[in-house]
Amino acid sequence: MLLFVGLGNPGERYAGNRHNIGFMAVQAIAKQHRIAPWRRKFQGVAGEGTIGAEKVLLLLPDTFMNESGRAVAEAAHFYKLEAGSVVVFHDEAELAPGKVRVKKGGGNAGHNGLRSITEHIGNDYHRVRLGIGHPGSKDRMESYVLQDFAKSERPWVEALCGIVADNVALLIEGKDSTFQNKVHLAMSAQGFGGTEPDDTKGEE
């Protein structure tokens, strides 16, 4: 089993925030792969299903971003999952809007949700970094991520989440570079972001 975690803040007030693109991506995965219903558990809402041949648990923590690790740890411990079986979808200001990078481990780059998860389960989980762009100044970061996506941004956000959902089976198969390339090529084909495929060769 794999645990897919979307990061964000709970409640209608935050639903459209840039910080909540992780929630949006995991909700798109649930819709695309017909994983339902969502049930209240593990200090959040969770849905269990199958993608390809793999069982997956989707989790949206209700703990607010800076306490996300509590919910992730509870779910991981219940299913006796190691950190390597956890995949976290989150906003990434260091990537251009619509760009995606996948990595295992590494630094948290000031992201409070990642910091909390690392404190609870260690650092060896996978991160799907969803680019939201940078406000230009660190001083503006908090207000930037807690703002809703602008109306003009919503088409690429919806496209990105849908494309991630379409290709998520590649992540399950461990084909991270292929997943990145497929997402970027599909985004480019839809006219978003002028994205380019990665230089790294996909593991077909």
Would you please indicate which residues are annotated as catalytic (active-site) residues?
A: 19
The span from the CA of 97 to the CA of 77, in Å, is 34
Phi, psi of 122 (to 5 degrees): 90, -175
Cα 9 → chain centroid = 13
Sheet containing 54-61: which strands, arranged edge to edge? 39-41, 44-51, 54-61, 2-6, 86-92, 126-131, 100-104
146, 17 in Cβ contact below 8 A?
yes
Given the DSSP bridges, would you call strands 100-104 and 39-41 parallel, antiparallel or unpaired?
unpaired
